[in-house]
Structure 1
Amino acid sequence: MISHPEFNERTTGTEVASFFADQIRGRTILITGVSPKGIGSATALAFASQNPDLLILASRTRPKLEAVRDQISHKHPDTRVELVTLDLSSQQSIRQAVTEINHLTSKLDILINNAAVNAQTRQFTPEGLEMTFGTNHIGVFLFTNLLLPSLLTAASQSSPGATRIVTLSSAGHRLSPIRFSDYNFEGKQVPPEEDHVKPLPGSFAKCTEDGYNGMVTYGQSKTANILFTLYLQRKLAGKGVGAYTLHPGTIQTELGRDQDPSIQEQFHQMELFWKTLDQGCATTLVAALDPALNETKGLYLVDCQMSDPYHWAEDEVAAERLWKLSEKIVGEKFGLED
């Protein structure tokens, strides 16, 4: 149960920020995936409305970051905003960005892992990972872990659970579990428990000529976001850091800019209510701010309320297996063992 049972799909992030102003004022907040036409910008504007000490915006494209900073400066001129270039598909870029962030602040109260991609053709990260998995999960995994010292510093100075890691997932996680036998989507045979939902709904079943299905790879990456959060939640609760994940709702953003029109039409058939950007960031704000979450065992939120993810996204064995695989991929262990 959250503090406000009246919150729903139409609640805005601006409203949530106003309700929880005390949890924003004077704090240091980092948001990834910030661009003018995305929910990252709405998230930033909502936080900026309630006087944080420092707002760090991180994304791939500097001009887009500057455009959002200009919006914030116009509406909330007293809010300090710093920009960091971050490409979550590149482990080198991630490490450079964390170095910049550490120069800006020694503590981080709230981390919002908002950035994501949804590749519709087979692409690879500089490290040779399938782009969607490599960005949406491995990039987030590495970035978050490298920032843990700053999060733990903040937690040592705050009430338990006030320091938060919020990672955006999607209802799309129901499309696929983690394909441990073929996480790079190379066409290898996988056991039934690792295979995607069959049949896939409508246009979601479309593949490229080489067999790549962007909706399945996206679903896998969003399941990974939830399992990653589950592992963090279990390992960090005793250290004063909360971790939550969520489905933001259906929103028209640049995430779907490369999608086939038939896939866009499929979304419209499946979801009648499309949120505004401000409504689309509301559940993120609840996950980041609501003190009532400290008293729950909840993991996943939808429309500003607690919900249950699909069964394969709350499997603690899979969460630990994914963590170990991710450490192997990035070549670094992060020591969160009990």
Structure 2
Amino acid sequence: MATSHPEFNEKTTATEVAQTFASDIRGKNVIITGVGPNSLGEALALAIGSQNPANLILASRTETKVEEVAKNVREQNPGISIAVIALNLASQKSIRAAASKIQGLVDRVDTLINNAGMMVLDRETTEEGIEMQFGTNHIGHFLFTNLLMAQLKNAAKASGRGSTRVVNVTSAGHRLSPIRFHDYNFEGKEVPVDERPPGGVATHSKTANILFTVYLTKHLATAGIVSYSVHPGSIWTGLSRGLDDAGHDTMSKTSNVWKSADQGGATMLVAAFDPALTDVSDPSAIYLSDCQFAKTAPHAVNMDAAERLFELSEELVGTKFDL
């Protein structure tokens, strides 16, 4: 499988991709999480908003910041339909309330872009006591996506196979660690060798994003829904606001190519709207970087791990989901 535009690369912008796939955006209901000023979410909103979606639903923790982005999109695209939703992914109560509001707004969701992410240096927890990065980056989006499954399936029934999509943002950092099932909450419990991160870097939320994508791809195939996981590239965004000087120095050395937010959003829009990506023949071929398919670490596409993670996630949100 390949994308329809092999010339797209790390320099391609979300604006360019949206223009290219204008007919695939027009008339769709699109949800973006993690939307604030000068962010990837804003770049996505501006690019998608320029191509006449039916409804653009912007969700993030701080409603006033989302409103700033909505105002910017409206100014550039008069007449566009935009809804602003308060969504705190570190609170399952907030997630359920946000999903309920969206269910009241639209009966179908054509495109869900789970873009929000959090990075913390010290161990923190969500309202439910789940380690913050895992609880927000994965568990939060896991619950949000599953609560909107009826709307996603409605969209799939009304459109062509594979045009309804769930895009989960991850990063190349998924290579740092498999899922620590024996100590997912980072409480210092002993873990078996196959769950220990190479180099001792203990973080696994980005691996979880890909495994969730693998699970969705397998179990939603009959419904005509596809899912992709995307590494947007190296971008200086609010995600790095929690880093100290040493952390910023380390981050600055992790990539030779630093992207603008508009460039960072490009791969997400390829995953969301490229008409060539309507079917996934191999559940492990669901990861894109620099607007093209890329290889993942083996632990991120292991189907047994994906099934196990889904069951653990159901336990942590207290709800069973039958896809």
TM-score (norm 1): 0.93
Q: Does 1:262 align with 2:246?
A: yes
1:89 maps to amino acid: A
Q: Map 1:97-112 onto structure 2 (within 5 A).
A: 97-112=98-113
TM-score (norm 2): 0.97
Two-structure CA RMSD over aligned residues (Å)? 0.9
CA shift, 1:295, in A, is 4.4
How many residue pairs get aligned? The number is 319
1:143-171 per-residue CA deviation (whole Å, 9 max, x = no partner) reads: 00000000000000000000000010000
Q: Distance in 2 between matches of 1:92 and 1:78?
A: 32
Contact 2:230 2:267 in 1 (8 A): yes
Structure 1 runs (4+) greater than 4 angstroms displaced? none
What SS does the corresponding residue of 2:52 show, helix, strand or coil?
Answer: coil
1:169-215 per-residue CA deviation (whole Å, 9 max, x = no partner) reads: 00011111100000000011111110111155xxxxxxxxxxxxxxx
Q: Map 1:43-192 onto structure 2 (within 5 A).
A: 43-192=44-193
2:223 maps to amino acid: K
1:29 maps to amino acid: V
1:310 maps to amino acid: A
What SS does the corresponding residue of 1:166 show, helix, strand or coil?
Answer: strand
Q: Distance in 2 between matches of 1:20 and 1:328?
A: 39
Partner of 2:11: 10
Contact 2:234 2:255 in 1 (8 A): yes
Q: Distance in 1 between matches of 2:155 and 2:121?
A: 39
Q: Of 285, 289, 308, which aligns to 1:302?
A: 289
List alignment gaps of at least 5 residues for structure 2.
none
CA shift, 1:136, in A, is 0.7
Change over 3 Å in CA distance of 1:334–1:199 after alignment to 2: closer
Q: Distance in 1 between matches of 2:227 and 2:254?
A: 29
Q: Does 1:326 align with 2:313?
A: yes
List alignment gaps of at least 5 residues for structure 1.
201-215
CA shift, 1:270, in A, is 2.3
Q: Does 1:275 align with 2:259?
A: yes
1:13-36 per-residue CA deviation (whole Å, 9 max, x = no partner) reads: 000000100110011000000001
CA shift, 1:293, in A, is 1.2
Partner of 2:221: 237
2:114 maps to amino acid: N
What SS does the corresponding residue of 1:270 show, helix, strand or coil?
Answer: coil
Contact 2:162 2:279 in 1 (8 A): no
1:227-269 per-residue CA deviation (whole Å, 9 max, x = no partner) reads: 0000000000111111000100000100000112212211222
Report the more deviating stretch, 287-296 or 325-334: 287-296
Contact 2:59 2:85 in 1 (8 A): yes
Calculate percent identity across the aligned residue pairs.
Answer: 52
1:186 maps to amino acid: E
